[in-house]
Amino acid sequence: MIKEKEIAQIVIAIIALGFVSGFVNLVRGEFEGFSIIVGFSAIIIGINIVAKKMMASRLDADVEHEIWKINRFGLRPKDHFKKDLMAGVIIPIFVAIITLGSIKLMTIMTYETRALKRRATKKFGPYSFTEMTDYHNALVGAAGIISALLITFVTYWFPGELFSIMAKMATFYAFFNLIPFSKLDGSQIYFGSRVLWSVLAIITLIFTIYALLLI
């Protein structure tokens, strides 16, 4: 179930993804096209979140989503911001502006899983260790990546330019979120299971090349 504090984060993520993906439309004054892209952003992020929550539920856990944030800018202990920087909004929008929309960086959201009490009671006894393993955490992230690729696969078979746009958006969303950096999905998958990350990376790369050349 989506928590109240997640809702604001999700709305911001949808707007940010819509801005990044539809920057060219916005500059050209194509507001109808831009609004459609924002709608696609809502579908992609929404399905991604639902997929992760379903996987987490199967693992007797809960997953919470938020905008990707960073609080350090150097290696020294004092090299940190006073407040977390919403990198998932600032960096993609900045890149979209300086590249005039040619680079659509979709590293917007991240997630955190927590084991539910029933996980310990059901599998290990009422007083057992309840933390999620890195592998189980990776499975949650993998569910989100797979959901984006499934969106691409399904929309590819529908005729029309709009479905092609959505297929590309979903593919690029999977691609950028597989980058093993900071707390992004790719990083959590990579450190949970390098084999799983490698398989997803190969499949996503194939989808990305196909999207760039043929869709």
Is residue 142 scored above 60 in pLDDT? yes
Report domain extents, the chain.
Answer: 4-213
> What's the rounded Cα separation, in Å, for the pair 14 and 12?
5
Residue-averaged pLDDT of the chain = 89
Is residue 120 scored above 90 in pLDDT? no
Percentage of the chain exceeding pLDDT 90: 74
88-92, 132-136, 166-170, 183-187: the lowest-pLDDT one: 132-136
Identify the pLDDT of residue 5: 83
Is residue 78 scored above 70 in pLDDT? no
Q: Are 200 and 188 in contact (CB under 8 A)?
A: no
Is residue 79 scored above 90 in pLDDT? no
pTM as predicted: 0.89
> What's the rounded Cα separation, in Å, for the pair 132 and 112?
10
